[in-house]
Amino acid sequence: MRPKKKVVTWQAIAPIVIVVPLLLAGALVWNWLAGPDSLPAAAVEQAIAGNTVHGGWGEEGTAYRQYFAVGGETLLAAEGAPPRRGRWRIEADGRVCSEIAGEAERCNLVGEMDQGLYWIDAEQGVGYPFNIMPGEQLGAAAAAQ
């Protein structure tokens, strides 16, 4: 006697056909919501030490340039404000901590996503993109300091 053929019905495979695409879509959404992956301290230092960072900060996207001197000094030139000096350092976990004159110290991770760099504001759970400009490029505003 021949073995009976098993027939696969739509009802039998429907859960798989529905669940697998949902799981894949969920993984893509999770990756998108997770935001940028933070960079290790050595990569952060290589990227910013001796260079100027240019971007926009906050919901309003306030433009700024910040120079990170190799010795730990920094100069911040934010839109609508005079340039201010301060100190910076990199923590073992890759956080960049800046203390600008007249403000409390602020620490942020640096992340990489879609081939761009971001400051990761851990308190607000958002990232702010920035560009690296070689050397000190704060322009005339910094020269007045």
Confidence bin at 10 (pLDDT 50/70/90): low
Compute the average pLDDT of residues 60-82: 91
Claim: this prediction has a pTM higher than 0.75: no
Count the Cβ atoms, other than its own, within 10 Å of residue 120.
21
Look at residue 27 in the predicted model and tell me its pLDDT.
46
Q: Which amino acid is at 128?
A: Y
The one-character DSSP state at 35 is -
Class of residue 143 by CB neighbours under 10 A (exposed 0-12, middle 13-18, buried 19+)? exposed
Look at residue 143 in the predicted model and tell me its pLDDT.
46
Q: Which fold would CATH assign to domain 37-143?
A: Lipocalin (2.40.128)
Compute the average pLDDT of residues 93-102: 92
The residue that leads in pLDDT, 34 or 100, is 100
Look at residue 113 in the predicted model and tell me its pLDDT.
77
